[in-house]
């Protein structure tokens, strides 16, 4: 369980109920969420607030975008590095930790014409989950 208030204070953000609540949601839910998900679970909070809060959090690297090819942007905490497998049929999402990107970054940069630095990456796998295969 993360300490929402401390996270906010550490980033010199004002401590407000909406921000606390969104951070706690991420911590409890443990899955990438989009704005709609969050707004619903925040029964009452405006979508606009959610958009703005996520933007703020993203700039401060508290959360990050994930592309799960579901049409809208998903967010998750940046607390531990991991990636996802997504079922292209039912949308089920599973995490995995194994990541080989850092190992290839150097050789990619060596070959690159225009880039000298890489700060982030996305790596998502897509397949069909066991439940959907059976149908």
- Summarize as ranges the residues that interact with DNA (CB under 7 A): 8-9, 13-19, 34-36, 44-49, 51-53, 55-56, 71-73
Alpha-carbon dihedral of residues 51, 54, 55, 56, nearest 10 degrees? 130
Q: Which listed option, a second copy, DNA, none, makes contact with residue 107 (CB within 5 to 8 Å by class)?
A: a second copy
- Owner of token pair 């949308």: 91
CB 1, min distance to a second copy, A: 24
CB of 56 to DNA, least distance (A): 6
Q: Residue 23: which of 46, 67, 56, 68 has the closest Cα?
A: 56
Among 9, 81, 82, 121, indicate the residue that binds a second copy (CB under 8 A). Answer: 121
Distances (CA, A) of 41 to 65, 75, 108: 19, 15, 42
Instruction: Report d(CA 40, CA 18) in Å as an integer.
Output: 13
Residues that bind a second copy (CB under 8 A): 65, 67, 69, 85, 87-88, 92, 94, 96, 98, 100-101, 103-105, 107-108, 111-131, 133
């Amino acid at each position: 369980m993360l300490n929402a208030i401390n996270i906010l204070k550490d980033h010199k953000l004002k401590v407000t109920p909406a921000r606390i609540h969104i951070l706690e949601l991420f911590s409890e839910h443990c899955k990438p969420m989009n704005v709609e998900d969050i707004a619903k679970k925040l029964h009452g909070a405006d979508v606009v607030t959610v958009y703005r809060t996520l933007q703020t959090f993203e700039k401060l690297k508290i959360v990050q975008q994930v592309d799960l090819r579901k049409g809208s942007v998903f967010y998750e905490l940046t607390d531990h590095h991991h990636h996802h497998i997504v079922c292209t049929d039912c949308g089920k999402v599973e995490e995995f930790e194994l990541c080989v990107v850092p190992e290839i970054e150097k050789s990619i940069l060596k070959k690159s014409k225009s880039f000298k630095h890489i700060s982030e990456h996305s790596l998502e796998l897509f397949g069909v989950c066991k439940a959907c295969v059976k149908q």
